[in-house]
Structure formats: C-alpha cells, structure tokens
Copies of this chain bind each other. A is one copy, B any other.
Amino acid sequence: MLTKRQLLVLKEIIRLFTESGQPVGSKTLMEELPIHVSSATIRNDMAALEEQGLITKTHSSSGRVPSTRGYRYYLDNLVEPAAATPNEIAAIQQGFGGHFYKIDEIVAQSARILSNLTSYTAISLGPEVANIRLTGFRMVPLGNHQVMAILVTSNGNVENQLFTLPPEVDSGEVEKAIRIINDQLVGLPLGQVAQKLQADVPAVLFKYMTSPNGFLDIFGNVLQKAAAERFYVGGRLNLMDYVEDGDVGQIKRLLAMMEPEQGAINQLLNPAMVSDLQVRLGSELTPDALANLSVITAKYSVGEHGTGMIALIGPTQMPYSKMIGLLTTFREELAKRLTNYYTHFDQ
C-alpha cells in the first residue's frame, strides 16, 4: 500500500513535528531526509499519506501534521525504542538509592523519579498480587479512649487508623476480639477476610463481646483502606507545561482527575485493560480531559509478589522512541529494587 519512502516520510514528519511543534513542509523534509529526492516528489508522497489519513494539514496551504491515525500507525509499526542513556540510568539508580520502610514508599518514589526524568506527569501503581493476605491486626490503646488500629498485609504494607472507643467498651473484651481476629482471619486473602467479616465472624464475636458492632466497623474500615488501590503521582504540575496553550479548563480537569477520590485514574490504569507496554493516544481514550495528550503504560513484574504498573502522561507530540526505551529500563530497575526490598523483608 505504502512505499518504503512514504513510510520514511511519515516517520520524518513525526520526528520533526515532535521536535519543533510546527507543521512540516515538503522543502524541510527534502533537506532532512537521508535520501535525495526533490520536494515535488515528497509532495506526491505526502499526498498519498494524506489519502490514507495518516497526516493532515492545518489549512489548505500549510505543512503536514501527523494525525491520530498516523501516530497509531507509527507506534504500531515504525517506532524504534531508543535505549536509556547512562545518565538516565544513573539518575534512576540514585533515586532508588535511599532506604525505604514500605513498598509504597518505593512506588511513590518511582513516580517522582520518572517525572523528574521526563518532565512529564508520572503515575505509579504498587505491585498487586492476586491475593494479598492478612498477616496481623493490632489495636494499641493510647489513652483517652483513643485506640490505633493497625493492620499488616502479606505484601508488607501497614495500614493504620485512629479510633475512639466508647467508654462502656471493656478492654478485656477487645483483647479477646483481637485474638479471635488473629486466629480466624490471619493468613487469609483480604477478599476472604472481608467476606468472613460479614458471615461467620460476627457470630463468634457475640460469644465474647456484648456489642461487637463498633469493633467490627473499625476493623472493616482499616481493612477497606488496606485493600484500596493506591496510586502515586509525580510531576503533577508538569502538565501545565504541555497542555494546549494555557487551556486552564483542561488543566483543571486533569488535576481533578488525579485526586484519589475520583476513580478516573484507576479506570485509566486498569491492569486488565492495558497490555505489557502500551501507548494510548488521548484522542482514542474516553475522558476527554486527555485530548491531545497521550498515555504510556508499562507493567512491571516482581515475580510472586505480583505485577504493578507505571504510566507517563505527556503531550501527543512526545518523543516516543525515547520514552518507550526509558520506561523499559525504568521498569526493570523498579522491579529490581522491589525484589531487593522483598528479599530483605522476607528473610
């Protein structure tokens, strides 16, 4: 359908447009292309590319700009990942250099490193193992009826929440309840824990406590927190730099999207929906706040400890080859760092 040279022209248009942000004309292409043909020849090729819907003009006598279809074609067939530079690798390793007390800290740091490296906005999701198990539950009285509930999960995450116990609750009873929770529920996947919490547990607790409801609420609450998908965003403010020239409305919608309460990000980065390493163009996606942006997602795997995801949000005119290469390296380093964490942690 398309000749070799036409594909070369497409690739070059994308390269030049990415660099300059300006529509690319036939004369510029003639100077930049490795092969030597006249501008008229290139114009013919461009006409063919436009016929296929891969490039468009901004007006009847302007240079050409890659269309969404053009980018899609480029990403599916033409793009060649560029390896990360030594500097970048060093920066990644340095970013992971410190000491971390939770996996979540490492994951959060990922987003920071990645956004620093790219000047785009980065989002990271922790490694999600199919069945995280409950490994412990504590309640620590702090005086004044205040109690801190602490829940530990098999992936090493710790969740805590503060509560006030009604004065009438007997502390001996609470002790017993905690023992029951630990006996009956520890070791089970969180899903099953939640389930049992509705089914068998209340009955058992009633034997030992006069009013287990408050207690169950507390436990359920922390459990929910621990089971919630969490994501971390780095370089939030970077998106101001590449959003359609000062479109405050879009910036606002994007920033709002990144609030955890909104489900937007979890939907966008649903692991079931994206493949191993994938570029999605904003114009192909549903939330129209992403128009003229694009999202690169990459999954990373930490073996038995599950797989997670990192994402980069940037302008559609992104240097894809560079970014894809960078993400490829990055996810390896991240996986290494996490594996390292788990090794020390499991020992």
A contact set with B: CB distance below 8 Å: 101-102, 135-136, 138, 140, 142-144, 146, 148, 150, 152, 156, 158, 160-164, 236-237, 240-241, 246-248, 251-252, 255-256, 345-346
Cα-based distance from A138 to B250 in the complex (angstroms): 47
In the complex, which residue of chain B has the Cβ closest to the Cβ of A247? B246
Cross-chain contact B148 with A150 (CB below 8 angstroms): yes
Cross-chain contact B143 with A148 (CB below 8 angstroms): no
Cross-chain contact A148 with B142 (CB below 8 angstroms): no
Cα-based distance from A247 to B101 in the complex (angstroms): 40
New contact pairs (18) apart from A160-B160, A237-B252, CB-CB < 8 Å:
A101-B146, A101-B164, A135-B143, A136-B143, A138-B140, A142-B150, A142-B152, A142-B158, A143-B152, A144-B156, A144-B345, A144-B346, A146-B152, A146-B156, A236-B255, A237-B255, A237-B256, A240-B251
Cross-chain contact B146 with A158 (CB below 8 angstroms): yes
What's the minimum C-beta distance from A282 to chain B, rounded to whole angstroms? 19
Identical chains in the assembly: 2
Cα-based distance from A113 to B80 in the complex (angstroms): 51
Known: A240-B252, A248-B251. A148 touches B160 (CB 8 A): yes
Known: A248-B248, A252-B237. A140 touches B140 (CB 8 A): yes
Cα-based distance from A241 to B162 in the complex (angstroms): 36
In the complex, which residue of chain B has the Cβ closest to the Cβ of A146? B158
Cα-based distance from A345 to B236 in the complex (angstroms): 38
What's the minimum C-beta distance from A177 to chain B, rounded to whole angstroms? 17
Question: Contacts of A345 on B, CB cut-off 8 Å?
Answer: 144
Question: Contacts of A150 on B, CB cut-off 8 Å?
Answer: 140, 142, 148
Cα-based distance from A255 to B233 in the complex (angstroms): 15
Cross-chain contact A162 with B102 (CB below 8 angstroms): yes
Question: Contacts of A144 on B, CB cut-off 8 Å?
Answer: 156, 345-346
Cα-based distance from A246 to B241 in the complex (angstroms): 13
Question: Contacts of A161 on B, CB cut-off 8 Å?
Answer: 101
Q: Show 8 residue pairs from A and B whose CB-CB distance is below 8 angstroms, ordered by the A residue.
A: A102-B162, A140-B140, A148-B158, A158-B162, A241-B248, A246-B246, A248-B248, A248-B251
Cα-based distance from A124 to B142 in the complex (angstroms): 26
In the complex, which residue of chain B has the Cβ closest to the Cβ of A161? B101
What's the minimum C-beta distance from A294 to chain B, rounded to whole angstroms? 20
